[in-house]
Structure 1
């Protein structure tokens, strides 16, 4: 298929693994229900446990790339998957007090896996040709998440919520076995550490690439805005008389459009400058929330979700690939970690900040979200004039092959 031309076999196999792992990654959806239900925690206690787990996930994303750069991305992924899987398998048997330590450990390890997986995709493809590879892995993960929650609901109804954690942990351990089989153990950029004590450090390399710093800051801002759809949006819709069914259909619309359009969009726009696409995507996110300012009609809500989704398609894959193309080889994991952490920061920031604004001044939330996303998009578009590494553009019909990326070149995602 033309859309996958140039995507190496290793990346296709990693994408399949990402799909299978996402299918069983359903515990985060039902964690709060599990804590206040079978575990008997109060809402406040469940909020604390969930919160420390989210902090662990974000910390794993922000710092996990160091392990890959120091010890090899393959080893980081396998270790993280084993730790996360083992912790989830035993979690139902642990006392409540232990959850405060084991859950953030499992989430931290999952964050390391996410950063390592992105770095593995990056080092499998030469710079300038990575957009479609990252689009494929996003497509696979989104497809798995579309299947996972309904499957988890059936498992919980048929057996118990405890089995969700056992299944998630066992599936993560099987993913580690699968990854160990498909990723070469030695002799390639996938497995070799790239630590070089004499090479410039992370912050020196980032200062030499101010456009990357602007992009990372913009992603933190827009993720805070984007993830309001999972926290304050359903409350807003309910307050305007809509049932949970409308919210469910909006999320289904989001997932369906991404699955249908992300790969074709990555292929069609592969020659377009990445920061221009990212900036346009952030402006579409702004437009989506601006559509809610007049009210919460069904047509406005649908238009909002379409704009948000198209914005996500435009900005997420090119942003990942741009950060990877800008990274020096010895810091690929840490550059991917910074982007991975920025791209999920909204999971921790969006619910409390959005809820605080909505409680204090409901009419202010959506204009503020739109303004923040506009500022982020404008900053990224302005960053096109800042210094950065140039990335070679892929030649039509001559995609990169697996293993051609070298540690000296900036692998990307």
Structure 2
């Protein structure tokens, strides 16, 4: 087996979820990632834990082709909460989720209405999975390499360079941003003439993503106070959602809610996201990308949101760990990340002080006020 895959599996089991003997762990990963599935099972066996396998993602609906077949035929009103899958996660101590594809466009002809109904029905399953020790990771499939515009070999190198890192060193570097953001009251994001948005992060918790829930990691993130977001934001990078590419997405916020929106491509998909539920029109996350080894856009949000010189904002559900005591958590069946390029004509302002300009942080060489 490729030793890079073995190293990947070791990091997931030993560091990301810190698996212990006799714990129950769900491995949710499609057959295209068989080498990683095998490597994970080897590491789980060394620990003495108890694994069970799902074929795709944490929602358990099956492979991409099987999921498409089901979603193309089922009526939205007939999609209900899968209690048997919910019980699986309720009895799990840990979960490892991977979402590589055999065909990235497999569900491109599934309606947004069905996709939203499906997400809503599985909301409690997702909540249950997020209550475990969980890790979302990736395997470099040829289909994902093609979507990124890379050869399979080049994409494999890109993935493993991003995954198999000294995460202790990453954590130490990123902690400098945590120390700025965690006690903050207000954040302002400005980029060019199209993005100027403010939000309160008062009493919210800032997390240092350095090899725990996400692999690759490389971001600092928190949750805005749901009704505090004001202004306009245009997302420079595409959003790949339900096998469709949204280009040029722009949102206008008042009192925390999206009151106007547009997109230059697949605006109907963006509208479908916003119409999922009330929480899908509010932000659930503000993230700051700090992993400069992820240096190109690949249409895989697990990587793209970590890119250096970017910020991302997620419509929908806030992660409970980022929400402070006695503060409202934004609830939604959706969590859709969208990226703003901060490399030029941009800055991040925290409580009136600029802490990043054109991608360079105040604690790094080359910062200019």
Q: TM-score, normalised by structure 2?
A: 0.30
Computing the radius of gyration from Cα coordinates, the structure with the larger value is: 1
Q: TM-score, normalised by structure 1?
A: 0.27
Please state which structure has a larger fraction of its residues in strand: 2
Larger relative contact order, structure 1 or 2 (CA cutoff 8 Å, min sep 6)? 1
